[in-house]
Amino acid sequence: MRIALYQCPPLPLDVAGNLQRLRETAQQADNIDLLVLPEMFLTGYNIGAQAVAELAQAHDGDAAQQIAKLAKATGMAIVYGYPERGADGHIYNSAQLIDAHGKSLCNYRKTHLFGELDHSMFSQGPNSFPVIELNGWKLGLLICYDLEFPENTRRLALAGAEVIVVPTANMVPFEFIADVTVRCRAFENHCYVAYANYCGHEGEIHYCGQSSIAAPNGKQIALAEQDETLLVATLQRQQLTDAKSGNFYLADRRPELYGELSKG
């Protein structure tokens, strides 16, 4: 499976502009199975609670319908981040996966909110970590800060995830997350991790770029710097097999010892 990560500066408050950027990027991408965009790509991330409330859309709203048409026209699946207005009236930091037929396979809501900014704009997502199938691969979704809790990637891996897709808005001074944590999560869970970040500035936030695709052996098979780019890599099933033959983290687990970890 060929995955592309679109690392770009945010375009705040401009849904139409971001949809146009997506169209241009998708049309230029060659032989891509899955295109992954950053966290809150549709509106920008650092836009404040009022703007989020004004721009939030339903998971099947106008933007989703336009992206579904684009996915079908280009023959590629798309993961994009956006502010979702749920049927319950709450606003969530969400990421949706639409397949190459224009069908929504998964709409994931961020479960671990980061800092005052996230908490001021969003409600926490529910206890839902689905693993879905795309092109014969099993995928899970997380968003940014979710990846920094090892329990999240582990539960996806135990549910069979072979690729964990992570739209993110990671900023300075947390470059080590992109450099170290992404590779660590891939290695300790025998899976690929695809981490799509912003670059450039948004208000007082300076994004660190460094989007990457980490293989199950913990090595980066694709790594961006700090500029706008389309990062592409081909995932190989043999990497999954090789990882399990020399890495026994999952086989050697002792869940009976970990019960206390889930207590508040």
Give residue-wise pLDDT tens across range 80-89. 999 999 999 9
Q: How far is residue 176's CA from residue 47's CA, in Å, rounded to a whole number?
A: 25
Is the peptide bond between 83 and the residue preceding it cis, with omega within 30 degrees of 0? no
How would residue 41 be classed by pLDDT, with cut points 50, 70 and 90? very high
Q: How far is residue 58's CA from residue 65's CA, in Å, rounded to a whole number?
A: 10
Using one digit for the tens of pLDDT, what is the confidence trace for 134-167? 999 999 999 999 999 999 999 999 999 999 999 9
* Residue 218 DSSP symbol: S
Q: 221: Cβ–Cβ under 8 A, 6 or more apart, which residues?
A: 213, 214, 215, 233
> What's the full length of the chain, in residues?
264
> Does pTM surpass 0.75?
yes
Q: Say whether pLDDT at 260 is over 90.
A: no
Q: Which of 8, 74, 4, 86 is nearest to 41 (CA)?
A: 8
Cα distance from N-terminal residue to C-terminal residue, the chain: 40
Instruction: For residue 127, count CB atoms less than 10 angstroms from its CB and return exposed for 0-12, middle for 13-18, buried for 19 or more.
Output: exposed
Q: How far is residue 263's CA from residue 258's CA, in Å, rounded to a whole number?
A: 10
Identify the pLDDT of residue 56.
99
Can you give the residue ranges of every domain in the chain? 2-252
Percent of residues, the chain, with pLDDT higher than 90: 96
For domain 2-252, give the CATH superfamily.
Carbon-nitrogen hydrolase (3.60.110.10)
Q: Which residues are catalytic?
A: 39, 110, 144
Identify the pLDDT of residue 187.
98
